[in-house]
Amino acid sequence: MRKVVLITGASSGIGLALCKRLLAEDDELHLCLACRNRNKAEAVHATLLASHPTAEVTIVQVDVSNLQSVFRASKELKQRFQRLDCIYLNAGIMPNPQLNIKALFFGLFSRKVIHMFSTAEGLLTQGDKITADGLQEVFETNVFGHFILIRELEPLLCHSDSPSQLIWTSSRNARKSNFSLEDFQHSKGKEPYSSSKYATDLLSVALNRNFNQQGLYSNVVCPGTALTNLTYGILPPFIWTLLMPAILLLRFFANAFTLTPYNGTEALVWLFHQKPESLNPLIKYLSATTGFGRNYIMTQKMDLDEDTAEKFYQKLLELEKHIRVTIQKTDNQAGHSGSCL
């Protein structure tokens, strides 16, 4: 039986490169592309099948920043599949990134210059907005939409006889200092991306604590700095091209510059081939590339504690309950309105 792998954000960047690498290694997989834009997904679908005509590739349309879309997609997936072997929770946004030129300038002359370029710590701020669901957009897209997707798909994921994997695209930019349990949506801060990725790390740890006995395992990865739509939002492509000689030199000292989406998927592909129950849930797996272009995996102990992870998980459950009650009330009101017509 083919393994079924669901990938969110599969139409570009890391997600697209991941699809290509997984099929190149095993075209007996069933890849399900979970994408917001159906036209882009269909173009990727055609490209993948042209390269791997015996592969099974399907599409489900989902926008993880819209909970109604997540519920619809989950219902569709439960009708299609009896189980999911792996979900790559990869879709994410970094809206309106602003580069802190002052911090960059002072960082260039500090002892932490390599660390600064590896993690972008203190360099980036982002704008954020409220979604139709009344949530912060970065939080809903990067964290909560995926959380609801997992909750809805539990029947397909929890099989104690054969484990399933959750693999989150996190970041070296996930900073404890940018996250607060009291403001876990980061509505009052200026670094929602970093906060959301730290929230992802916490959630992964909590999911292991609550679901390992049911055969579901979760891990987080960082693809490094790869040139994708996300990084092109920070600086335009021509600036990256101008910086490339310096970046290639810097890569001899900072292995986070994977640069291409293919290189960035190194840790994501490696994790897929591991026994999930053998992996350390408190470790982040990092894609890395040497100055000579060789890809390898690094590990990093996450700066978090399991109690905070569990408290965050409980807050997400409370938010989920509130959202479901609100949706039910809205549906009931719509039903009553319809019956009066």
Give dist(CA 137, CA 131) in Å, integer.
5
Query: From CA 328, how far away is CA 197, in angstroms rounded?
Result: 30
193 as an active site residue: the answer is: yes
Strand (E) or helix (H) holding 138:
helix 137-139
Catalytic residue among 88, 193, 217, 313: 193
Identify the bridge partners of residue 58 per DSSP, sorted by sequence position.
Answer: 32
Query: CB-based burial of residue 143 (10 Å sphere; 0-12 exposed, 13-18 middle, 19+ buried)?
Result: buried
For residue 270, give the H/E element and its range: helix 266-272
Asked if 48 contacts 120 with a C-beta cutoff of 8 angstroms, the reply is no
Instruction: Give me Rg for the CA atoms of the chain.
Output: 20
User: Any idea what the Cα angle at residue 193 is, between residues 188 and 199, rounded to 5°?
Assistant: 85
Closest C-alpha among 20, 340, 329, 313 to residue 181:
313
List the catalytic residues.
193
